[in-house]
Structure 1
Amino acid sequence: MSDRIVIHNSMGAAFIGCVLASALYGVSTIQTFYYYNNYGRDPIHIRALVLAVWIFDTTHQVLISHTVYHYVISNYFNPLALMDMVWRVASLSPAPMSSILVEVLFNGFIGFIVQSYLTYRIWRLSNKKIWVLCLIGPFVLAEFICSVVFTVMALQMKTFGELTALKGLSMTVNILAAVGDLFISICLVYMLYRRRTGYKKSNTIISRLIIFTINTGSLTTLFAIGSLISILVWDDTLIYVTFFFCIGRLYANTFLATLNARSILRSVGQDDDANTIHLSGANTTEEAIGMSKGTRPRNISIQIDTARDILRDDDDSNTMKGKISSS
């Protein structure tokens, strides 16, 4: 009886998590539409990643919505149903599937795609230094593997009580997610800061990118920490799913916001006078632009590698180019 009471009280947390995730799903869907409407000429592999993230995001939302509906609506007058995890009809698949467990796998898919993409961006910003992959890669890969292992092991269980045996693995997933996100944010900020040029226009773009990186990276980290704390403090409840249901959605929105912010960040460099910023590909130093101390060159050309790496992808046919020109 006590187990049923604990799970019954936890359904409120699951419902809140589902509502928050639904709101975030609406945002990610709008962002997906915006992306395809404005960046249809991006490389096909980037467009494929966006589609994959949205499909996984949609599937995850369907799964958690089914879970909440099953307990809160379909079995409202059936407290015994709270003991068992929601199981789909076996004939619909080779083996019975639990929507509340399979959603962990799709969360893992989304996190793996987004973290891998951001790791790739950092690797490019670092001039393809191998230490970046060695530092972040193991956390990204380990988190995904642990998510898969958790799902496979949990699908062998039928009650929520049995899930307590996987508490350590569940904590590991959240720890790896938090540490991976933290390293990604720190490395991005560090790489961006190193590329400050001393010029107001280019520094404005870089500062905006740094703020954007901190804002987007901190959300997934905080929710992963919230999920971890909930498991530690209330390990016999489902309170942690309030945070966990939203993590995949936050990853999706971070990924889409990174792509969609390019046009906004590009406009930061636009100027009404003769000075214009165009984003290009080479690193710039004072020596490269021929600046000598105490003189102002008549033609200044600053190639902003950082902005290029963040705002566009390899082989992008819609290359955003240019330079700061002043006469």
Structure 2
Amino acid sequence: MPVPYVLDNTLGAAFVGLVAASTLHGVSLVQAWYYYTHQNDLWRIKLLVAAVVTFDTIHQILITHTVYWYNVTNWGNPPALELIVWSMLVEVIFNGLTALLVQGFLTLRVWRLSNRHKLLTGVVVLLILGEFVAVVAYTAIGFQLKTYAELGKLESLSILVNALAAAGDVLIAAALCTLLHLSRTGFHRSDTMINKLMLFAVNTGVLTSVCAVASLISIVVAGKTFLYIAFFFCIGRLYTNSLLATLNARKRIRSAGTAIHTPTDISVSMRDFPTSPSVGKRRPTNISIKIDTTQEFATDAKQEYADLEKAETVSSSTRDIEAKEVESV
């Protein structure tokens, strides 16, 4: 196999992954700055964001060291390219920690919105913990190996990590969308807010799961290359950006739900009618207009009471959804 081709799908793939991860890390730092300057959350949420950004930054440093060690420090030293540098293994742990925190945060939302459904939440927790245990096992075993030829023995463990990550993300997104859909009331404010929340739930799960699946396919199809590393380097960044985007968008989501459509008050003044004896003949028309325009919105006392009661139900439902969103964070 020609040497340039080997470098393209090994060190070249790692370099491309580093560039993509660095770009996403810059986006996450901007989002973190916006979060701390525009959001006023409880200390535990601020601590969560700080931990996620810190782990993400450490991971960025580690993968930079990995690519630098191979492409610069050991440039022109082919035997060194067969060795596993320590940072290549440690970065897996920090990727796993980032995924654990973000998925744990989203699992808490599932727990709140499902009214503490133990079976659903339990399955999600098992997937998340299983993924992290696999990550720790991969790193621990990897430190006992010296070359990439030996690391190939852990291909099945790499597949398991990515498969659990994708399964967990898809299940969380599906659970959130289903629970939010079941919370629909048929009224503008609550449904608008629910639609926005569903959109963010889908985006959170799709981006990370697609990246995990791409990494999984790369391992299976081209396990002896670094193609999967190009995707794996970016997974942690996608988790971080998904979390920050969700937190930063809450005010916009809630404000979008306040645009309630209200009936237009139609009034007709007497000057709209000719001042002639025919006014009396037109009076029924005036009455007819008022009946037609107000009948839909219930003018009689009984229907007004029903509407008020219905509006209160909608308002209560909206408050419940908002309360669960606040509780979840």
Counterpart Cα distance in 1 of 2:7 and 2:154: 17
1:299 Cα offset (Å):
8.5
AA matched with 2:34 = Y
Which residue does the alignment assign to 1:279?
none
Q: CA contact under 8 A between 1:227 and 1:243: conserved in structure 2? A: yes
Equivalent residue in structure 1 for 2:212, among 205, 220, 224: 224
Equivalent residue in structure 2 for 1:296, among 283, 296, 307: 307
How many percent identity over aligned positions? 44
Q: Counterparts in 2 of 1:266-281, with a 5 A limit?
A: 266-271=254-259
Cα distance change on mapping 1:7 and 1:235 into 2, 3 Å = farther
Q: CA contact under 8 A between 2:203 and 2:242: conserved in structure 1? A: no
Counterpart Cα distance in 1 of 2:131 and 2:62: 21
1:53 and 2:52 aligned: yes
1:254 Cα offset (Å):
1.1
Counterpart Cα distance in 2 of 1:198 and 1:116: 31
Which residue does the alignment assign to 2:19?
19
AA matched with 1:49 = L
**Secondary structure in 2 matching 1:24:** helix
Q: Counterparts in 2 of 1:61-210, with a 5 A limit?
A: 61-86=60-85, 98-210=86-198
Larger radius of gyration: 2
Cα distance change on mapping 1:50 and 1:79 into 2, 3 Å = same
Q: CA contact under 8 A between 2:188 and 2:261: conserved in structure 1? A: no
| TM-score, length basis structure 1 | 0.82
Counterpart Cα distance in 2 of 1:265 and 1:46: 18
Q: CA contact under 8 A between 2:188 and 2:260: conserved in structure 1? A: no
| TM-score, length basis structure 2 | 0.81
Which residue does the alignment assign to 2:322?
307
> 3-12 vs 230-239, which deviates more?
3-12
Over the aligned positions, Cα root-mean-square deviation in angstroms equals 2.5
1:313 Cα offset (Å):
3.6
1:8 Cα offset (Å):
6.1
Q: CA contact under 8 A between 1:43 and 1:313: conserved in structure 2? A: no
Deviations 1:165-204 (A, max 9, x none): 1011110000100101110011000000000011012111
Counterpart Cα distance in 1 of 2:155 and 2:217: 12
Counterpart Cα distance in 1 of 2:148 and 2:310: 69
Which residue does the alignment assign to 2:229?
241
Q: CA contact under 8 A between 1:85 and 1:159: conserved in structure 2? A: yes
1:4 Cα offset (Å):
10
AA matched with 1:226 = A
1:257 and 2:245 aligned: yes
1:76 Cα offset (Å):
2.2
1:250 Cα offset (Å):
0.6
Deviations 1:53-112 (A, max 9, x none): 0110000000001111111222222222211122xxxxxxxxxxx101100000110001
Deviations 1:108-130 (A, max 9, x none): 10001111110111100011111
Q: CA contact under 8 A between 2:102 and 2:239: conserved in structure 1? A: yes
AA matched with 1:297 = L
Which residue does the alignment assign to 1:280?
none
Which residue does the alignment assign to 1:37?
37
1:134 Cα offset (Å):
1.7
1:273 Cα offset (Å):
8.5
Q: How many pairs are equivalent?
A: 287
Which residue does the alignment assign to 1:215?
203
Cα distance change on mapping 1:4 and 1:150 into 2, 3 Å = farther
Counterpart Cα distance in 2 of 1:55 and 1:215: 23
Q: CA contact under 8 A between 1:174 and 1:225: conserved in structure 2? A: yes
Counterpart Cα distance in 2 of 1:224 and 1:170: 11
Structure holding more helix per residue:
2
AA matched with 1:118 = L
1:132 Cα offset (Å):
2.2
